[in-house]
């Protein structure tokens, strides 16, 4: 297993493409944001994981992303998160998360481990929208109060 710690989010797509074996990657820096208007015309700026997700979709190896160093509050659906990332084997979710939008982890068939930086009680308070679009996340083994390896 490769251990590529502290990879800046902007470098992550390249790092994933050159991996030769399964890896756990701790992501640092800021995730790019995309402007999105809702049906009422209100503008919000969403964390856009699409370039990282494209790299994972094209990967031949399993990837565990440690996002615990990032400061954001929701995984967004609509192509901004990890839908169809079959090589995503694990994810570490930061303590700042309060919402996981529908289809954020849809068809992540290799996702087996979720490390969560807070308690089980706090995990249950996170809004997970459209649970049928996030089955992989909800079926994975969850490690609570995760402090890193």
Assigned token pair, 103: 């289809």
What confidence score (pLDDT) does residue 139 get? Answer: 94
What confidence score (pLDDT) does residue 19 get? Answer: 86
What confidence score (pLDDT) does residue 1 get? Answer: 45
Q: Which residues of the chain have pLDDT under 50?
A: 1-2
């Amino acid at each position: 297993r490769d251990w590529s710690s502290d990879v800046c989010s902007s470098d992550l797509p390249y790092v994933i493409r050159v991996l030769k074996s399964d890896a756990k990657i701790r992501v640092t820096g800021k995730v790019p944001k995309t402007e999105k208007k809702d049906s009422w015309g209100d503008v919000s700026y969403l964390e856009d994981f699409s370039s990282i997700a494209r790299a994972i979709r094209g990967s031949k190896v399993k990837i565990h992303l440690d996002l615990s160093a990032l400061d954001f509050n929701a995984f967004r659906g609509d192509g901004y998160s990890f839908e169809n990332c079959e090589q995503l084997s694990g994810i570490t979710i930061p303590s700042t998360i309060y919402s996981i939008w529908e289809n954020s982890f849809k068809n992540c068939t290799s996702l087996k481990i979720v490390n969560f930086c807070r308690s089980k009680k706090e995990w249950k308070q996170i809004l997970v929208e459209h649970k049928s679009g996030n089955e992989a996340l909800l079926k994975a083994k969850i490690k609570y109060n995760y402090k890193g390896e």
